[in-house]
Each structure stands twice: as C-alpha cells, then as structure tokens.
Amino acid sequence: MSFLATLRIALKALRVNSLRSGLTMLGIIIGVAAVIVMIAVGRGAQSKVEDQIRSLGSNLIIVFSASSTFTGARSAAGAAYTISEEDGYAIGREVEEVYAAAPTLRGSGQVVAGNANWSTTFYGVTTNYFEVRNWSLAEGRGFDQAEMNGAAKVAIIGTTVAANLFGSESPVGQVVRVRSVPLTVIGVLQKKGQSLSGNDQDDVLLMPLSTARNRVLGATALAKSRSVGAIHIKVRDGVDMKIAEERIRELLRQRHRLQPGQEDDFNLRNLTEILQAREESSKVMALLLAAVASVSLLVGGIGIMNIMLVSVTERTREIGLRRAVGARAADILRQFLVEAVTLSLIGGLTGILLGIGGALAIGRWVEWPIELSSGAILLAAGFAALIGIFFGYYPARKAARLSPIEALRYE
C-alpha cells in the first residue's frame, strides 16, 4: 500500500472521531504553545539583561567613598568623601588594565527652565565619563577642555529631563537653573532606558566636574580636597576583571597610606560581574521554563498513546478484515503510526500559531521584550512529531501483531 493511500485512510479515521481527535491533540497544542511562549519570554529576559549591561558600559568597575565613623556613629557608604579626583587620574594612568577612569560628583535637586521644573539627579563629570559609560549624544556636543578647566556654566541633559522641561522643543541653547545656577544646555544624551535596579538612566543632568564642585555644590572642603563621590572605571577588553580590581585596590591603598590589616576607606563594585551573574540566572530560568513547558508535551504524548490504544481496541474487527483481504502487518503498523504522527503534527502546527499569538500578546500586555526564535519553533514542531512516533509506535505495533482470525472473531 502506498504512503498516500495510508495517509488518506488515516485522515478518514481521524475525521470519523473528530471530537476524540481534537481532545487528543489538545495536550500537544498546549505543550507546543507553552514551549514557544516560555522560550520567547526567557530569551526576552536575557535580551533585557544584555541591554542593561550595554547601557551601563562594558567592563565597568565603580569605586565609591567608604562609610565613615564619627563620634561612634557610622554613616552610609559615600556619605564622607574619601576618594579624590587625583585618585581617578592615577588609576587611569598607573593601572595598565584600565582603559579609562572618570571621577564624578553627585547631587540632586530641582532643575528649572522657564515655567517648567523637574526634580532630577545631576553629576559633575570629566570628558572620560562618556567613554567609560558608552554614552553618546543624540543632539548637540560634549564638554571641551576649556569648559572643564574653567568651571563653565554648561550642561548636557538626558531625554527624560529634556522631555519634561522642553517637551518636543530642542533643549540645545536653552538655559536651565540648578540650585539657582544658570547652565546653558549644549547637548542631549542618547536614550539608555532603565537600569538593572529599575532607575531611569535618562533622568539625569551632567555638568563639568569643576562646575559641580565650585559653583553648584558650593562646598569649600570639596574644592580644597578635590574630593569626589565615585570613580567610574572601564577595564580593557580581554582583561580579567578580578585582576584589574586587585590592581586598583592596591593602588588606592598605597595612595591613601593604609597599613596592612587596616580596612579600605573605599568600596569597589564590579558591576559587570553582578550583571553577568544576573544574565546567567536569566538563562537558567529560561531553561527551567522550557523544561516545565516540555512536560506538557510529554503529557500530550501519553494522551495520544492512550487514545490510539483505545482506537486499536475499537477497530480490531476492521484490522482483522484488512488482514484477511491481504494487508500486511507493515501496512497496519504504518497506518496507525501515520495517524499518531498526523495528530501530533496538526496539534504542533496549531500550538505554534497559538504560541506565537500568546507570546506577542504577553509582550504587549506586560510591556516585556519578547524574542520569537525560529529555532525554538522548529524544535517544538520536531519534538511534537517525535512524540507522535514515540508514543504511537506501541499501539501501532500492537495492531500490526493482531492475528487476523482472532481479530475477526473479536466482539
């Protein structure tokens, strides 16, 4: 018997019991759809973490001022300035594993432009900051060296600040006031989105480090000591981050004249390692989600086997009649196997459509990035076909081994 004839007989048998066939396929449909949705959500989560890593800057280490103790009261990290601008320059100059270092000062307050105002975070930065953070400009220009040296009243703002103060109007050339200091906007940063902690990275205003220290923050102690709150450090590509971290620690301890056994008066935070650990966690979670969803396919396959066994029992006389008129055992085996595979493939194709639609709906509903993978779709379809073959073989083999005489006498 030809394959087309076998397929025609199999499809006819499935149409006769359409309700049972539909219920049998339901397990495969749900399983394939679940696999596609889970993989799409998992890959979307990985993509989001990767975007956050890129937005922070590659190979990034941040040095913070350490906590301090005053009359027995211990303050939070960064509350006292224990690192200086010169520390940052020394790190960039003397640690060969470091590509660039950017000292920064941080503050917060209202930014006023005309009748509009917005509460934001502002940073005093050096020209290296943009390179360390992999942050380019969407509009305008960056700070020049004369502005850095002369504490110029200029600023670069993020897209969130620009939207809230100027709407659709270009901010470049406009004047904003930070703590009553007028600053001319010379540029707008490219949009970065949320950080790993959920903070809006675009809600920021940057100004020259000297401007922040001498004009905006207005602290005499800061001006004399040239202290900073943090140093952003970009490590060279291919360098072991742990080694770079140790080199930076050794240099700072030497510069701060710390004795062996004495605690660091600064904190080192390797953001790349933190984010990479988060990325690994998201990969593991994606695999777990796919594994859980695959259980649905297994359940669907068991359902196919059960229904096919019932079908063999119900069609015992039909099998005996076909054997009596010359059908071979191989023909019977092929017929029932084709029925099982057809059920799986139809269910798999339906599940693919449902899974794609479900993934897109979830992405739109929760505003979560979704990545539909053609490989995942093909894997789900192939797995569905394999389930049909695996769980359909036993019932098909049982049907093929029936004795024609016993089958005809079956009631």
pLDDT band at residue 309 using 50, 70 and 90 as cut-offs: confident
Per mean pLDDT, which of 68-82, 155-169, 224-238 is the most reliable?
Answer: 155-169
Per the prediction, the chain carries an average pLDDT of: 79
Of the candidates 346, 326, 342, 325, the one whose C-alpha atom is nearest the C-alpha of residue 334 is 342
Decide if 135 contacts 192 (C-beta within 8 A).
yes
pLDDT at residue 205 above 90? Answer: yes
**Which pLDDT score is estimated for 278?**
60
**Which pLDDT score is estimated for 73?**
41
**Which pLDDT score is estimated for 75?**
44
- The mean-pLDDT minimum among 171-180, 227-236, 291-300 falls in 291-300
Decide if 21 contacts 300 (C-beta within 8 A).
no
pLDDT at residue 228 above 70? Answer: yes
Which residues lie closer than 8 Å to 334 by C-beta, 6 or more apart?
A: 1, 3, 6, 396
Per mean pLDDT, which of 7-11, 82-86, 378-382 is the most reliable?
Answer: 82-86
> Structure pTM?
0.61
Which residues lie closer than 8 Å to 401 by C-beta, 6 or more apart?
A: 329
- The mean-pLDDT minimum among 34-48, 120-134, 255-269 falls in 34-48
What's the rounded Cα separation, in Å, for the pair 245 and 263? 16
For the segment 249-253, the average pLDDT, to the nearest whole number, is 93
pLDDT at residue 77 above 60? Answer: no
pLDDT band at residue 175 using 50, 70 and 90 as cut-offs: very high
pLDDT at residue 7 above 70? Answer: no
What's the rounded Cα separation, in Å, for the pair 267 and 187? 32
pLDDT at residue 125 above 90? Answer: yes
What's the rounded Cα separation, in Å, for the pair 246 and 244? 5
**Which pLDDT score is estimated for 76?**
46
Neighbouring C-beta atoms of residue 47, cutoff 10 Å: 14
Report which residue type is found at 110: Q
**Which pLDDT score is estimated for 380?**
73
Share of the chain above pLDDT 70, in %: 76
Which residues lie closer than 8 Å to 136 by C-beta, 6 or more apart?
A: 130, 189, 190
pLDDT at residue 114 above 60? Answer: yes
**Which pLDDT score is estimated for 273?**
62
**Which pLDDT score is estimated for 158?**
95
Higher pLDDT, 375 or 178: 178
For the segment 293-318, the average pLDDT, to the nearest whole number, is 71
pLDDT band at residue 71 using 50, 70 and 90 as cut-offs: very low
